[in-house]
Structure 1
Amino acid sequence: MIKCAGWLLVFLGAAHTLLALTLEGAGRHAREWFSGGLWGEDFSDMSPAGSALWLSLESFGPPLVVVGLIVLWLDRHGITPPPFIAWTLGVWSVADAAILITTPWPLFLLASILLLAGSRRAACRGNPVPRAGSARMP
């Protein structure tokens, strides 16, 4: 369950970022991004290039890939991801659904449920979430 949740998070983050850059056309503003054209940008009055940046590279997509990869790394090393990751993603999913129903929030909620279920299953098998200070350093 934990592995499925991790891969789902990686997929959703990567898909969001790549589709924004390509299908939505955000990538066509890259020259302006890297030329310093956004340095004086006002958030209350964003340019198309600024909006495209926040839709793609500065969106939740890249950090979500990192969270998914961390979940996969923890699982591969026999470490149960802490439940706060699942709870945080779950709350975010519900808020996302309330604000904009057309987002893929059910998939994020599914990943949260899989993470919680995997954490509970691991705890029942005697593989609890490590406590602070209990991990040995290499």
Structure 2
Amino acid sequence: MIKWAGWIITLCGTAHTLGALTVEKAAHHAGTWFSGGLWHEDLADMSPAGSAYWLSLDSFGIPLVLIGLTVLWLDRRGITPPAFIAWTLGVWTVVDAVILPFTPWPLFVLACALLLTGIRRARRGDATPRAGLPRA
């Protein structure tokens, strides 16, 4: 369950970032980004280049990839991830679902549920550790 949660989180973060850069064409603004064009950007009145930057490289996509890969890394070593990862991601997911209902929030609810269930089973000792890897 923990492994599935890690993959869902990683794939969603990757899909968001790559989708924003390609499908949404945010990468077309890279020249503005790297030439200092956003240095005096007004966040209350964003330019298309600024909006594209916040949608892609400065979105939560890359941190989601890091969270997912961390969960996978911990699981591969037989270490149970801390529950605060699932709870924090779960709260963020609920806020996201209320504000923007047409986002992939159901995938994050699934990932959080799988992660919390896997953590609970590991703590109770119900999870079967993989051969050669002790559970922490």
TM-score normalised to structure 1 length: 0.90
Aligned ranges for residues 60-99 of structure 1 at < 5 Å?
60-99=60-99
Aligned ranges for residues 30-41 of structure 1 at < 5 Å?
30-41=30-41
Letter in 2 for 1:104: P
Kindly tell me: are residues 83 and 19 of structure 1, through their superposed partners in 2, closer, same or farther at Cα, counting changes over 3 Å?
A: same
Over the matched positions of the two proteins, sequence identity in percent amounts to 69
Runs of 4+ in 1 over 6 A off after TM superposition: none
Task: Quote the offset at 1:126 in angstroms.
Answer: 7.3
- Paired positions, count: 127
Unaligned runs of 5+ in 1: 128-138
Task: Quote the offset at 1:100 in angstroms.
Answer: 0.8
The residue aligned with 2:47 is: 47
Unaligned runs of 5+ in 2: 128-136
Task: Quote the offset at 1:124 in angstroms.
Answer: 1.1
CA deviation string 1:56-98 (max 9, x = no partner): 0000100000000000011011110000000111111111111
Superposition RMSD in Å: 1.1
CA deviation string 1:15-67 (max 9, x = no partner): 00000000011010001100111011110111000000000000010000000
Letter in 1 for 2:25: G
Aligned ranges for residues 1-138 of structure 1 at < 5 Å?
1-125=1-125
